[in-house]
Chains A and B, each alone.
Chain A
Amino acid sequence: EDQVTQSPEALRLQEGESSSLNCSYTVSGLRGLFWYRQDPGKGPEFLFTLYSAGEEKEKERLKATLTKKESFLHITAPKPEDSATYLCAFGGVTGGGNKLTFGTGTQLKVEL
């Protein structure tokens, strides 16, 4: 069964304290691995798409990486404004419709 698991559920960091969020996935054929950011009371906002193992993408303090079983979202020297829930999702090659299956997210809190 295709599934995705994110860890940890919640993470508290001090400003400047780098860390990584994990997204483990099982899918019969990966079309793409997606990362989103969600602020309280808002819809998820697209961050990255990764397509194949070894691929990396960066945006400001965020870097996403992909292996055959996991994706990591590395946060370097985070700031309080990076506080949000980070969601990962995968799209499989079966089923059609460009559907995404989402994980339950990691709630990140960055404190001064």
Chain B
Amino acid sequence: NAGVTQTPKFRVLKTGQSMTLLCAQDMNHEYMYWYRQDPGMGLRLIHYSVGEGTTAKGEVPDGYNVSRLKKQNFLLGLESAAPSQTSVYFCASTDGHGYGYTFGSGTRLTVV
């Protein structure tokens, strides 16, 4: 009963470095999301997916790319990290039937 698993939990990057955050869910959910959470800003949607092989832009997509090659996995990539991308990143999934999202435990990313 893992739910939504995010890796890594913590990461420090230097400006300009790249990395990929992995989200895996074992609930056979169609919909998956990446949010970032910053103090005073709440959760803001970066990208989302409505099914395997699909992706779409959210509210704050610039500087990020995503892929959903397998239904259970949703990857978030930072091609060239910037200090403004220092944040806590949350992945979430849902079956779309109104029971709300299931969130992962988050990845705390610091870009120096």
Contacts and interface: CB of A to CB of B under 8 A. Distances in A.
Interface of A: 32, 34, 36, 41-46, 49, 51, 87, 89, 96-105
A32 B92 CA distance: 17
Interface residues of B, number: 27
A96 B101 contact: no
B91 to A, nearest CB: 8
Contacts of A89: 43
B-side binding surface: helix, strand, loop or mixed? strand
B67 interface: no
7 contacts: A32-B98, A43-B4, A43-B92, A43-B106, A46-B102, A49-B100, A97-B48
A46 B106 contact: no
Contact of A99 (B40, B58, B100, B106): B58
